[in-house]
Amino acid sequence: MNEVTLTNANFETEVLKSDQPVLVDFYADWCGPCKMQGPIVHEVSEAIGDKAKVGKLNVDENQEVAQKFNVMSIPTLIIFKNGQAVETMVGVQTKDSLIEKLNKLA
């Protein structure tokens, strides 16, 4: 499964109403650690296949959603299940830890 580009407009449909767990990467283009996290998130999306959805949300372009989930530092990764945030991680995360967390929820 490829990554979904998330926005204020599609967040509810793609994340909160998803019947699968969803990993959301809150990032900004200017953020150095976000640039390190990006390829890892892409690898996770390929490795997890159809068991979960992976999305990326640019906090500069979609401040409404970032504020709603209290994203203060980036990268922040939040896993949602059944419309609820079930795990929040701040800072660069490893591929293995993200896959493990998603597999537990899938």
Active site residue 96: no
Spatial distance between the Cα atoms of 25 and 45, rounded to a whole number of angstroms: 11
Q: Which of 8, 20, 28, 31 is catalytic?
A: 31
Active site residue 46: no
Spatial distance between the Cα atoms of 76 and 73, rounded to a whole number of angstroms: 6
Q: Which of 6, 34, 66, 71 is catalytic?
A: 34
Residue reference for tokens 């929040």: 88
Which residues are part of the catalytic machinery? 31, 34
